[in-house]
Structure 1
Amino acid sequence: MIQVAAAIILNDEGRILIAKRKQGKSQGGLWEFPGGKLEEGESPEVCLIRELQEEMNINISPYAYFDTSDHRYGERQIQLIAYLATYVSGEIVLHDHDEYRWASILELAEFEFAPADIPFVAKLGSNPSSEFFSCN
């Protein structure tokens, strides 16, 4: 099983960062909460800080575990571990994505997400008052 971390990043306006995977990549054209594969011995929080710096040129601060989603993509089984995070700094520069958006919780349902991310969208949508973010 491949472990992957995903960041549910909130900005100062209360919007969440989502990104559209590049065409030609696994799950290309679908939206996701950005992140990446954990390296050997790496915590999800450290992975997210590293991956968001590498993939989007931004600094984030993960602060709380959100949820885990297990999903099989063909022969590959992944465990997607989501953390809530705050946006700290940096101008977004896309390397592994075609687009990005800062979306409200209610707007998330308008985007076609990768299957492993869908449970997180559902959980966020079940409480659009954003109480999930009250502990940051």
Structure 2
Amino acid sequence: MIEVAAAIIYDETGKILIARRREGKSQGGLWEFPGGKLEAGESVQDCLIRELQEEMGIEIRPYAAFGVNEHSYGSVHLTLIAWKAKYVNGTITLTDHDEYRWVQPGELGVYTFAAADIPFVERLMRND
């Protein structure tokens, strides 16, 4: 089982950062909450800080656990651990993604998300 951290990042206006996975990557063309695989002994918060710096060049501050979802993509079984975070600073530069958007929680349903992220999308749209 792979443990993956996902950041639900809010800006100062309450919009959430989503990113589309680059074609050719696993789940390419689908939207997700950015993050990445936890390294051995790494906390979810430290993973998210590291991953968002590496993948997008931004600084975030994780502040609250949001939820856990287990999902299987065929032979790959993962545990997705979501945390809410605040955008602190930096200009977004994409490496693993080909597009990003800042969206209101109610607009999340317009985008086609990776299956593991969908329970979080549904919760955010209900304002949980």
Which 4+ residue blocks in structure 1 deviate beyond 3 angstroms?
Answer: none
What do residues 32-61 of structure 1 show as CA deviations (whole Å, max 9, x unaligned)?
Answer: 000000000001000000000000000000
CA distance in 2, matches of 1:22, 1:70: 23
CA distance in 1, matches of 2:59, 2:80: 21
Task: Report the AA paired with residue 80 of structure 1.
Answer: L
Q: Which residue of 2 aligns with 1:102?
A: 102
Q: Where in structure 2 are the equivalents of 1:1-136 lying within 5 Å?
A: 1-127=1-127
What is the CA distance between 1:13 and its match in structure 2? 1.2
What is the CA distance between 1:126 and its match in structure 2? 1.2
Structure 1: unaligned runs, 5 residues or longer: none
Q: What TM-score results when the alignment is normalised by the length of structure 1?
A: 0.93
What do residues 36-93 of structure 1 show as CA deviations (whole Å, max 9, x unaligned)?
Answer: 0000000100000000000000000000000001000110100000000000000000
What is the CA distance between 1:104 and its match in structure 2? 0.3
SS in structure 2 at match of 1:13: coil
Aligned residues: 128
Matched-pair identity in % = 62
Q: What TM-score results when the alignment is normalised by the length of structure 2?
A: 0.99
What do residues 7-30 of structure 1 show as CA deviations (whole Å, max 9, x unaligned)?
Answer: 000001110000000000000000
Aligned alpha-carbon RMSD (Å): 0.6
